[in-house]
Homo-oligomer: A and B are copies of this chain.
Amino acid sequence: MKKFINTVDSLIRESLDGLVAAHGDILTLGAEHKFVRRKTLRPGKVALISGGGSGHEPLHAGFVGYGMLDAACPGQVFTSPTPDQMAAAAEATDTGAGVLYIVKNYEGDVMNFEMAAELAIGQVARVIIDDDVAVETSTYSTGRRGVAGTLVVEKVVGAAAEQGRDLAACRALGERVNQATRSLGVALTSCTVPAAGKPTFTLGESEMEFGVGIHGEPGRRRVPMIAARPLAEEMAGAIVKDLGARVNGNGLLLVNGFGGTPAIELYLMYENLRSVLERHGVKIVRSLVGNYVTSLEMAGCSATLSLLDDEVAKLWDAPVHAAALRWGM
């Protein structure tokens, strides 16, 4: 295993120190590295908190900032943060309007955020993200997995919270965006969890995992590598089939790299996915291409389609200033 680390134990801590030092204008660290928090809180605003295992950076800490999250709780690599971390983040960000937890649908995350909610003093609500159409249950999840669509929910609800919506409205909006968002991922290589020291799985010289999860969980099937165009047909086809009759109108297309795929290939996949989706009747009016919800250094990518109404499109466009997403300011 070749990685830029000092020790496996200190990896997350040193990386968070770097993140907060590089973005000291917007971020601050909680005691004992329990969470990354917005430097300046806005009294009376609903506090948005997310978190999960590390190894998916920039998700979630890279999305903490104006117009998005108030705090993110990082676990060890691919391991849920503790209820203690989440409760500490809530205490440090709740300015009276309550806390909304945005939780990817993995058993550890769901359970720990539930326990954190029980520890809370103020009002707490949650939104569970389960946008992955690949499989109905998986290694770490009952029901569908939460993957790159999480970014869309965090951005849109973040803008709504910034505009002063209350906790119930933020939760309802988060559920609505999650329902309108579908993703599917493909892996060309595995990643190596530092504590394990060896690849999570292996793929042959010309194989790919269709429907892979963001921890390297198995997908729908292991298949021979195919060209980008037929692959885009299959990926977009699975998403469109799942959304059914709702596929029309405007959409946001997020082509997300898992960490080891060059930008040149991500933009090529974007081009192929976009044309397939438009043929299916969705007009792609918003786009995002890059490494946003990763699996360490895995080669691969996911496609996320989020159906947009005017309200959600406006919230997507609203200013944001986080380490990994910034516009309008």
A229 and B229 alpha carbons, distance in the complex (Å) = 44
Query: Which residues of chain B are within 8 angstroms of A287 by Cβ–Cβ distance?
Result: 21-23
Query: Is A15 positioned at the interface, with any CB of B under 8 Å from its CB?
Result: yes
Query: Is A3 positioned at the interface, with any CB of B under 8 Å from its CB?
Result: yes
CB distance from A180 to the nearest CB of B (A): 20
Query: Which has the most chain B C-beta neighbours within 10 Å: A18, A19, A206, A264?
Result: A264
Query: Which residues of chain B are within 8 angstroms of A326 by Cβ–Cβ distance?
Result: 326-327
Query: Is A107 positioned at the interface, with any CB of B under 8 Å from its CB?
Result: no
Query: Which residues of chain B are within 8 angstroms of A270 by Cβ–Cβ distance?
Result: 18, 21-22
Q: Looking across the interface, which residue of chain B has its beta carbon closest to that of A191?
A: B262
Query: Is A296 positioned at the interface, with any CB of B under 8 Å from its CB?
Result: yes
A153 and B326 alpha carbons, distance in the complex (Å) = 22
Query: Is A272 positioned at the interface, with any CB of B under 8 Å from its CB?
Result: yes
- Contact between chains at A296 and B208 (CB < 8 Å): no
Q: Looking across the interface, which residue of chain B has its beta carbon closest to that of A187?
A: B2
Known: A22-B287, A259-B262. A5 touches B268 (CB 8 A): yes
Query: Is A17 positioned at the interface, with any CB of B under 8 Å from its CB?
Result: yes
- Contact between chains at A5 and B188 (CB < 8 Å): no
Known: A259-B262, A329-B328. A301 touches B4 (CB 8 A): yes
Query: Which residues of chain B are within 8 angstroms of A190 by Cβ–Cβ distance?
Result: none
Query: Is A225 positioned at the interface, with any CB of B under 8 Å from its CB?
Result: yes
Mask of A278-303 contacts with B, CB within 8 angstroms, 1/0: 00000000011101001011010100
What copy number does this chain have within its complex? 2
- Contact between chains at A17 and B271 (CB < 8 Å): yes
Instruction: Give the interface SS of chain A, mostly helix, strand, loop or mixed.
Output: mixed
A6 and B272 alpha carbons, distance in the complex (Å) = 10
A175 and B189 alpha carbons, distance in the complex (Å) = 42
Query: Which residues of chain B are within 8 angstroms of A263 by Cβ–Cβ distance?
Result: 57-58, 62, 259, 291, 294, 324
Query: Is A97 positioned at the interface, with any CB of B under 8 Å from its CB?
Result: no
Known: A21-B274, A22-B270, A326-B326. A4 touches B260 (CB 8 A): no
Query: Is A140 positioned at the interface, with any CB of B under 8 Å from its CB?
Result: no
Query: Which residues of chain B are within 8 angstroms of A267 by Cβ–Cβ distance?
Result: 15-16, 18-19, 22, 57
A206 and B188 alpha carbons, distance in the complex (Å) = 23
Query: Which residues of chain B are within 8 angstroms of A205 by Cβ–Cβ distance?
Result: 2
Where the two chains meet, the residues of A that have a C-beta atom closer than 8 Å to any C-beta of B are 2-7, 11-12, 14-19, 21-23, 54-55, 57-58, 62, 77, 188-189, 205-206, 208, 225, 227-229, 231, 259-272, 274, 287-289, 291, 294, 296-297, 299, 301, 324, 326-329
Can you pick out 17 interface pairs between chain A and chain B where the beta carbons lie within 8 Å of each other? A4-B231, A4-B301, A6-B228, A7-B227, A11-B268, A15-B265, A15-B267, A17-B271, A18-B268, A18-B269, A18-B271, A18-B272, A18-B289, A22-B267, A55-B262, A77-B264, A260-B299
Q: Given A2-B299, A62-B263, output 12 extra A-B contacts at Cβ < 8 Å.
A: A2-B188, A2-B206, A3-B188, A6-B227, A6-B228, A7-B227, A12-B264, A14-B271, A55-B264, A58-B263, A262-B296, A327-B329
